């Protein structure tokens, strides 16, 4: 708006004092909106501390309080979902179906049903989860390894979609079991499986 105001003033020959007044009004509006957004953000953070589900999701590496709050508010009561597949579909990150006559296949695109907010939160969490920090440590080693395997056979965008899908399944498990996330590497999973089988 400020840039457009400056362009209009240049084209119409408005005096500098009038331009200054208009810019001051826009700047005051921006400051007011920023202050209100800050107030809302602080309120959300205060409320998020009181919600156990936010803490459960925050235990997953790559999810902070803000992303966790978005997911909890969009998912609601986890008991509405019988399994992780239903939650994946609700989030709109299941592959869309292509059907023609007797042929039924899947496209490499999301159905995009459900909330765009939850998809955006999952996308942010997925991109964080596949990164390394400033000391070259993986934010989430299990998800990082999963992503590295996926990008060998899929384009990066599809691999990131697979990561989002996996994160939803982890979220479902954490919320359904009411236990914080515990990092278990594939090697530890094999050891655990062998000890249970013995």
Query: What per-residue confidence (pLDDT) applies to 111?
Result: 57
Q: Which residue has better confidence, 60 or 188? A: 60
12 pLDDT band (50/70/90 cuts)? low
Average pLDDT over residues 162-175: 93
**b/e per residue 7-33 (b: at least 16 CB within 10 A):** eebeeeeeeeeebeebeeeeeeeeeee
Q: What is the pLDDT of residues 137-149, one digit of tens each?
A: 888 888 888 899 9
Does 187 score more than 60 pLDDT? yes
Q: Do residues 183 and 141 lie in contact, with contact meaning Cβ atoms separated by under 8 Å?
A: yes
Domain coordinates in residue numbering, the chain: 2-45, 52-197
Average pLDDT over residues 29-42: 92
Average pLDDT over residues 62-89: 90
DSSP string, the chain: -HHHHHHHHHHHT--HHHHHHHHHHHHHHHHHHHHHHHHHHHHHHHHHHT-HHHHHHHTSTT--HHHHHHHHHHH--GGG-SSHHHHHHHHT-SEEEEEETTEEEEEEEE---S-HHHHHHHHHHHHHHT-B-TTS-BSSHHHHHHHHHHTTTS-HHHHHHHHHHHHHHHHHHHHHHT-------HHHHHHHHHHHH-
Q: Do residues 45 and 68 lie in contact, with contact meaning Cβ atoms separated by under 8 Å?
A: no
126 pLDDT band (50/70/90 cuts)? very high
Closest CA to 95 of 86, 87, 106, 84: 106
Q: How far apart are CA 30 and CA 36, in angstroms?
A: 10
């Amino acid at each position: 708006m400020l840039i457009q105001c400056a362009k209009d003033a240049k084209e119409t020959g408005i005096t500098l004092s009038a331009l200054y007044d208009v810019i001051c009004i826009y700047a005051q509006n921006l400051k007011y909106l920023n202050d209100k957004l800050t107030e809302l953000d602080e309120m959300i953070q205060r409320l998020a501390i009181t919600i156990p589900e936010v803490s459960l999701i925050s235990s997953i590496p790559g999810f902070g309080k803000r992303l966790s709050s978005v997911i909890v508010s969009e998912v609601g009561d986890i008991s509405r979902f019988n399994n992780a597949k239903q939650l994946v579909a609700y989030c709109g990150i299941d592959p869309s179906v292509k059907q023609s006559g007797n042929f039924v296949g899947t496209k490499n695109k999301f159905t995009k049903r459900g909330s765009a907010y939850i998809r955006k939160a999952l996308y942010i969490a997925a991109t964080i989860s596949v990164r390394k920090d400033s000391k070259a440590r993986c934010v989430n080693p299990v998800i990082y390894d999963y992503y590295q395997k996926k990008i060998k056979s899929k384009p990066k965008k599809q691999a990131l979609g697979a990561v989002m899908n996996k994160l939803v399944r982890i979220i479902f498990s954490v919320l359904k079991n009411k236990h914080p996330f515990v990092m278990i590497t594939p090697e530890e999973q094999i050891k655990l499986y062998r000890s249970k089988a013995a």
